[in-house]
Amino acid sequence: MYFLSGWPKRLRCPLETLEQPLHIQTDPQRAFFAVLAPSQLSIWYSRPSVLIVSYKELSKPASQFGPYKQAEWRPDSTMIAVSTANGYILFFDIPSSRDKYLYEPVYPNHHISTVPFSVDHASSQSTFPSPVPIPLYWLDTMEKKICVFEHKMCVISSSGSVQVYTIDNSTGAMQLSHKLELTPKQYPDIWNKTGPVKLMRWSPDNCVVMVTWECGGLSLWSVFGAQLICTLGGDFAYRSDGTKKDPLKISSMSWGSEGYHLWVIDGNCSLNAGCDIDTKNEAHQLGILQFQFIKSALTANTCMSNQEQVLLQGEDRLYLNCGDATQAQNPRSASAHSDHKPIREGGPFLEGSLDSQGLSTLLGHRHWHVVQIHSTYLETNWPIRFSAIDKLGQNVAVVGKFGFAHYSLLTKKWKLFGNITQEQNMIVTGGIAWWNDFIVLACYNLSDRQEELRIYLRTSNLDNAFAHVTKVQAETLLLSVFRDIVILFRADCSVCLYSIERQPDGPNPTASIQVLQEVSMSRYIPHPFLVISVTLTSVRTETGISLKMPQQACEAESIMLNLAGQLIMVQRDRSGPQIREKDSSPNQRKLLPFCAPVVLAQSVENVWTTCRANKQKRHLLEALWLSCGGSGMKVWLPLFPRDHRKPHSFLSRRIMLPFHINIYPLAVLFEDALVLGAVNDTVLYDSLYTHSSARQHLEVLFPFCIVERTSQIYLHHILRQLLVRNLGEQALLLAHSCATLPYFPHVLELMLHEVLEEEATSREPIPDPLLPTVAKFITEFPLFLQTVVHCARKTEYALWNYLFAAVGNPKDLFEECLMAQDLDTAASYLIILQNMEVPAVSRQHATLLFNTALEQGKWDLCRHMIRFLKAIGSGESETPPPTPTTQEPSSTGGFEFFRHRSISLSQSAENLPANKFNLQKTLSMPSGPSGKRWSRDSDCAENMYIDMMLWRHARRLLEEIRLKDLGCFAAQLGFELIGWLCKERARAARVEDFVIALKRLHKDFLWPFPVIPAFSVNSPFKNGKYKTGAITELLFISCVNSFHKNGFFM
């Protein structure tokens, strides 16, 4: 959601002063910020961060008032109130006239008893529905400070955690929502590192909160408790050599406009005045750091129409994960490369190749596509408030202070308003969205003082003459597009639906808008500003209707409202008489009334749904996906009867399934069962850090921050949740619909591995274990054998007994692999057998696999099997290996060897370490100059056993006259063919039938038979006698000449 970018910047002050800053505060518009020193007030401009004016208190008033402590801006930014240590409040007036001082103190000679605060909302409606007193309880043993914003109250605990309370919309009572706390699992000994919480600051969009502690460090959290950034671990806290850094102690901080900047004051420099001042320089560095942030477009434009692209926005650029627009022919186009350095993509996605269309476009590229926002637009319209991307990933639109602009990834050009007056005359209020080639936005017309809904064509000039304008009765707060319907949420707590229709008349086509329906939500919404997002979806509870009427699967059925984290669904009422399809127009079906709202989930931050339809993946496309902060994700999954059978009356038609992922979700690929996101990564530059420079250059305390693209599979979480709820049939339907995904085998492996780790390491007995159910579920797929052995090889040896007690005996699984001719998987099972069975059993199964690999010509596997047989032959004992425990893994020699060799069976021989179990020469390999053949007696016996198998296989090939296979066998395994043939010349090498041998030789080498010249061969019958000897000799000579000519006997 919010991500650090680059290094923090340190501000420089051109004034010579020995005072260090102690407090920083931005004005309500966040265009300026005030910096307090003990006797000085400075006003800075936000962008760029430069000093405008500074006021220095004289010595006599300074001794009377005392040092400055805190500052607060007036809501209209025309006055600043400063509190002092001696209990005074100084008011600094900021007049607008030019004939006076810019700032001057005002000392009123009367007492201040009541200070009215202006309402921070545009509507005059009360925040609470009724004047019910709010019960507040003082918990004197826990909290120290209280921070309130809109519908949430945060209580700061002395233990270093933050308790977040929500205010009930109906009663006004406070309810504990969640806690913001660091766990010892992630940060050991955390209580000794942080101390109590010192500061909390909510971002301007109220999507994240920054928390700092007394002992130093800062962390960033989403509104419902998802940890985004923490500087107490990783490269933020440790250098590359492992030594610990001194954490940055923050005494004051404040957010900049739209959350792109965060200014913090170093507490150490505030305590030690002059710690880094160089009086020789005209400008010295203050203890003020400016952090730069990149945030998701969903934080401001929550109703962005395209939900399968990750779009991040910075103060002057956009970051896209979409592909090259020149190659985009579908909503998931190929990614374009970008040479922007500070941001890069993370490591490889997962095992397997991503060959499916869509995955290669959204995941298969290294870099973000960075779009620099046009400087002309930024000069007069900074900061960027909204951004949106179309479904094809070819066009983006941005909204600043006034007007908007859009960019084409095809032409690499921006399109701005030609008439600057038109641009400065409109303020986009409710967001911006794409509908095909049109841009839909809700704005306020400054000249007419009218709320409007406008539609601009992308291909035409950006001018109001080409726009379709519809007047709106109330201020639009939120906007969203679903298929051909625009949904608006207005300040009067009403929802209005509009239909869009393309009008191709004229050279420049336009779009017409018609009102479809208005729904008042004032009874259910206490205040309009509590609504975070509004979405029109095809999701409904009656999934059985889609079985009867498939044409309605993608119609607008429900309105989803996110009311301060409470997801409310308002569904169409179909209990009355229904209009038949042949007698209804498209708009008539949309005029159905809505039912009473239903609460679906709590603590919801983002909602994803799609309007596409796919009969093969109905579970994923008709589901509703929720991001719930620290609680992870939830999916409202439909349940369908199998083979269109009548559903059971006791079976719910939808089910809410929670699951946790390791990334913060920014987009959902519905058909690919993937969650896309981004994560901060760091790069250390330790050469810039020294103990002397740590104070003078605070920025070297932090690593260079970059943003990585990342993704995660969620399918195994859903399958597991269905199995836990005894919905195995639904799990099978969902799994079979996703079986064509390239990473589906990895999904099964992840599910098996996670259940095994949890149950096998549990300290308490599990009354109803899930592992047998998961094992039975995996047997329904042909990849069962591979899934089990891959899971075992990635799991500790101590858990193998628990695993194979559920999935079956490894010897039986090994034999199934041999029957299925899956030799690579069978080779992996040998590692299991070598550690769980006596060496005699391992040798027996290895011999079976070795002989099968020789027969099928799997030479790489044969070489590995030779090493395997030699390894288990050394130090052989007939006692089984000790049974491992789940507390500590086995440390036997065989275990150590095969833990190191756990991936060797899938590697080539050249990639093996040279110092591990070198392959010694046998009779089938040339011996070295020393002439020593065996190093130990046990090696001699084992090598003899291997040579006997090689001789037996070579003898069988020779007896079957398979000379080509014999040659490949000798070349691949280093078999001494000449010496062995000399020994076998009177036995297996003896040719009994030359005709069959020659025919087999021609067949193996695909060599044509020789042609007998007609003039050199007389009739076989001469004087009534058959001359067999002459013909046989002639055929033999011709055949030999042919082989000599082609180099077979050289």
**Secondary structure in 3-state letters for 777-815:** HHCCCCCHHHHHHHHHHCCCHHHHHHHHHHHCCHHHHHH
Which is nearest to 259 in space by CA: 231, 287, 229, 292? 292
Which is nearest to 747 in space by CA: 672, 829, 663? 672
Task: Please give the structure tokens belonging to residue 460.
Answer: 């035409």
Is it the case that residue 539 has pLDDT exceeding 70?
A: yes
CATH topology of domain 300-520: Neuraminidase (2.120.10)
Task: Please give the structure tokens belonging to residue 520.
Answer: 């008042």
Is it the case that residue 73 has pLDDT exceeding 80?
A: yes
Q: Which of 439-453, 584-598, 706-720, 959-973 has the lowest mean pLDDT?
A: 584-598
Q: Which of 257-271, 338-352, 530-544, 1014-1028 has the lowest mean pLDDT?
A: 338-352
φ and ψ at residue 968, rounded to 5 degrees: -65, -40
Q: Which of 286-290, 346-350, 679-683, 842-846 has the lowest mean pLDDT?
A: 346-350
State the pLDDT at residue 893: 31
Is it the case that residue 136 has pLDDT exceeding 80?
A: no
Is it the case that residue 101 has pLDDT exceeding 60?
A: no
Is it the case that residue 772 has pLDDT exceeding 80?
A: yes
Q: Are 864 and 827 in contact (CB under 8 A)?
A: yes
Is it the case that residue 43 has pLDDT exceeding 50?
A: yes
Task: Please give the structure tokens belonging to residue 439.
Answer: 């841009």
Which is nearest to 683 in space by CA: 310, 1005, 240, 386? 240
State the pLDDT at residue 669: 92
% of the chain exceeding 70 in pLDDT = 72
Mean pLDDT of 774-780: 96
Task: Please give the structure tokens belonging to residue 531.
Answer: 């609504």
Q: Are 659 and 718 in contact (CB under 8 A)?
A: yes
18 alpha-carbon distance from chain centroid:
48
The full 3-state SS of 129-159, as one line of letters, equals: CCCCCCCCCCCCCCEEEEEEECCEEEEEECC
Is it the case that residue 268 has pLDDT exceeding 90?
A: no
Spatial separation of the C-alpha atoms in residues 509 and 25, rounded to whole Å: 50
Is it the case that residue 675 has pLDDT exceeding 60?
A: yes
Q: Are 906 and 858 in contact (CB under 8 A)?
A: no
Amino acid at 438: F
Q: Which of 32-36, 181-185, 298-302, 361-365 has the lowest mean pLDDT?
A: 361-365
Q: Which of 298-302, 721-725, 1001-1005 has the lowest mean pLDDT?
A: 1001-1005
Spatial separation of the C-alpha atoms in residues 255 and 233, rounded to whole Å: 23
State the pLDDT at residue 769: 94
Mean pLDDT of 511-522: 92
Task: Please give the structure tokens belonging to residue 320.
Answer: 């896209």
Q: 84: which strand partners?
A: 68
Is it the case that residue 149 has pLDDT exceeding 80?
A: no
State the pLDDT at residue 100: 54
The full 3-state SS of 83-94, as one line of letters, equals: EECCCCEEEEEC
pLDDT tier at 691, thresholds 50, 70, 90? low
Cα dist from 379 to 313, 552, 762, whole Å? 17, 48, 60
Across the chain, mean pLDDT equals 79
Task: Please give the structure tokens belonging to residue 23.
Answer: 């407090």
Q: What is the pLDDT of residues 1-12, one digit of tens each?
A: 899 999 899 888
Is it the case that residue 169 has pLDDT exceeding 80?
A: no
State the pLDDT at residue 911: 38
State the pLDDT at residue 974: 85
Spatial separation of the C-alpha atoms in residues 943 and 391, rounded to whole Å: 65
Q: What's 223's DSSP letter?
A: T
State the pLDDT at residue 484: 92
Residue whose entry in the numeric block shows the structure tokens 């011709």: 1038
Mean pLDDT of 945-971: 86
pLDDT tier at 143, thresholds 50, 70, 90? very low
Q: Are 407 and 395 in contact (CB under 8 A)?
A: yes
The string of DSSP letters for 698-747 reads GGGGSPEEEEEEEEEE-HHHHHHHHHHTT-HHHHHHHHHHTTTSTTHHHH
Q: Which residues of 960-991 are buried (b: 16+ CB within 10 A; e: fewer)?
A: ebbeebbeebbeebbbbbeebeeebeeebeee
Between 112 and 409, whose confidence is greater?
409
Mean pLDDT of 185-202: 82
Cβ atoms within 10 Å, residue 410: 13
Is it the case that residue 914 has pLDDT exceeding 50?
A: no
Spatial separation of the C-alpha atoms in residues 480 and 5, rounded to whole Å: 30
Spatial separation of the C-alpha atoms in residues 959 and 936, rounded to whole Å: 34
For 726: left if phi > 0, alpha if psi spans -120 to 50, otherwise beta; the answer is: left
pLDDT tier at 233, thresholds 50, 70, 90? confident
State the pLDDT at residue 840: 87
Task: Please give the structure tokens belonging to residue 224.
Answer: 């419902």
Q: Which residues contact 625 (CB under 8 A, 6 or more apart)?
A: 607, 608, 609, 633, 634, 635, 665, 668, 670
Is it the case that residue 274 has pLDDT exceeding 50?
A: no
Helix (H) and strand (E) counts in the chain: 25, 49
Q: What is the pLDDT of residues 423-452, one digit of tens each?
A: 999 999 999 999 999 999 999 999 999 999
530 alpha-carbon distance from chain centroid:
28
Q: What is the pLDDT of residues 860-913, one digit of tens each?
A: 999 999 988 888 766 544 445 554 444 333 333 332 322 333 333 333 333 333
Q: Answer positive or negative: Cα dihedral of 149, 152, 155, 161.
A: negative
State the pLDDT at residue 646: 59
pLDDT tier at 924, thresholds 50, 70, 90? very low
Going edge to edge, which strands form the sheet with 197-202? 197-202, 208-213, 218-222, 227-230
Cβ atoms within 10 Å, residue 280: 6
Q: What is the pLDDT of residues 592-614, one digit of tens each?
A: 788 889 999 999 999 999 888 88
Between 786 and 935, whose confidence is greater?
786
The full set of domain ranges for the chain reads 300-520, 529-574+586-671, 940-1004, 1014-1045
Q: Are 476 and 452 in contact (CB under 8 A)?
A: no
Residue whose entry in the numeric block shows the structure tokens 């999904």: 747
Q: Are 645 and 652 in contact (CB under 8 A)?
A: no
Task: Please give the structure tokens belonging to residue 1036.
Answer: 């033999």
Mean pLDDT of 299-316: 86
Q: Which of 274-283, 304-313, 844-853 has the lowest mean pLDDT?
A: 274-283
Between 390 and 1007, whose confidence is greater?
390
Mean pLDDT of 467-495: 94
Is it the case that residue 158 has pLDDT exceeding 70?
A: no
Which is nearest to 27 in space by CA: 257, 293, 258? 257
Between 167 and 147, whose confidence is greater?
167
State the pLDDT at residue 272: 53
State the pLDDT at residue 99: 59
pLDDT tier at 454, thresholds 50, 70, 90? very high
Which is nearest to 106 in space by CA: 123, 127, 88? 88
State the pLDDT at residue 191: 66
Task: Please give the structure tokens belonging to residue 19.
Answer: 């005072």
Q: Are 40 and 55 in contact (CB under 8 A)?
A: yes
Q: Which residues contact 5 (CB under 8 A, 6 or more apart)?
A: 292, 293, 294, 314, 342, 343, 705, 706, 707
pLDDT tier at 137, thresholds 50, 70, 90? very low
State the pLDDT at residue 846: 92
Cα dist from 83 to 32, 143, 243, 968, whole Å? 19, 24, 41, 91
Spatial separation of the C-alpha atoms in residues 113 and 644, rounded to whole Å: 73
Cβ atoms within 10 Å, residue 731: 24
Mean pLDDT of 142-166: 67
Mean pLDDT of 719-731: 95
Task: Please give the structure tokens belonging to residue 844.
Answer: 């027996």
State the pLDDT at residue 145: 55
878 alpha-carbon distance from chain centroid:
50
